[in-house]
Amino acid sequence: MASWAEGGAALRPTDMTPTWSAIVGLVSAALGWKRDDDRIAQFALNYAMAIQVIEAGSRLMDYQTIQSPERSQSDRRRARTRADELSVDTIHTTITRREYVTGADYDFLLLPVVDAPVIAPPEIAHPLRNPYFPLYIGRRSCPVGQIFARCEEGVLDQLLPHATHWDSRLMSSRVPSLIRERRDLRAKGLTYLTRRECVG
């Protein structure tokens, strides 16, 4: 299972293909970079991703309930634990719906788009096979089983000639059937920028 959400509150839909921010987070966790590490934003800007969808998978909807104190009560005091947070007179229960992708299979390609990236390509493959932190795909309920990673030199058309989605920052001789904007390029401060993705 995976979740490639691009936003949402009560409903968190998933895209059917991975977001760049999710892959940046996956690589950063493998390398042992913590969330406030400046290298994460640099990595997102220094590299671009291409994907070949091997199995598209299907959507799965999950329903969850969330309990929270009334805002006026939660503002009055700062809770130290979850039990403390819910020990108030009025508690609201809301339903959230979250989508997942099941049964999908992808090939990824990460290519630098600058001459001197924050980390060299050969230094990425080994940590992906032996990660520093546990790896998840979208949410903690979606752990990664096993990653087959290798490092090769070349360009998009050589390394992933049947790519179905690729970052517009990558050069390709293929003419995309669609160019869409995705709000999933991670920048400093846990904010996200828009990137252009080619779909073939």
CA 150 to CA 162: how far, in whole Å?
18
Based on the fold, state whether residues 74 and 125 are members of the same structural domain.
Answer: no
Give the model confidence (pLDDT) of 103-116 as tens digits: 999 999 999 999 99
Based on the fold, state whether residues 74 and 141 are members of the same structural domain.
Answer: no
Give the model confidence (pLDDT) of 81-111 as tens digits: 767 777 777 777 778 888 999 999 999 999 9
pLDDT of residue 158: 93
pLDDT above 80: residue 50: yes
Based on the fold, state whether residues 80 and 123 are members of the same structural domain.
Answer: no
pLDDT of residue 26: 92
- Indicate whether 1 belongs to any domain: no
Lowest mean pLDDT among 9-13, 78-82, 91-95, 132-136: 78-82
- Indicate whether 6 belongs to any domain: no
- Domain's final residue, options 40, 70, 96: 96
Q: Which tokens go with 147?
A: 């990653």
Based on the fold, state whether residues 152 and 194 are members of the same structural domain.
Answer: yes
- Decide which of 64 and 57 is more confident: 57
Based on the fold, state whether residues 119 and 56 are members of the same structural domain.
Answer: yes
Cα distances (Å, whole numbers) of residue 139 to 25, 28, 40, 83, 153:
11, 15, 18, 23, 31
Based on the fold, state whether residues 83 and 17 are members of the same structural domain.
Answer: no
| Domains contained in the chain, number | 2
Domain that holds residue 81: 62-96
Based on the fold, state whether residues 147 and 69 are members of the same structural domain.
Answer: no
Based on the fold, state whether residues 129 and 179 are members of the same structural domain.
Answer: yes
Q: What is the mean pLDDT of residues 145-167?
A: 89
- Indicate whether 4 belongs to any domain: no
Based on the fold, state whether residues 131 and 80 are members of the same structural domain.
Answer: no
Based on the fold, state whether residues 112 and 153 are members of the same structural domain.
Answer: yes
CA 142 to CA 17: how far, in whole Å?
15
- Indicate whether 2 belongs to any domain: no
pLDDT above 90: residue 183: no
Based on the fold, state whether residues 115 and 185 are members of the same structural domain.
Answer: yes
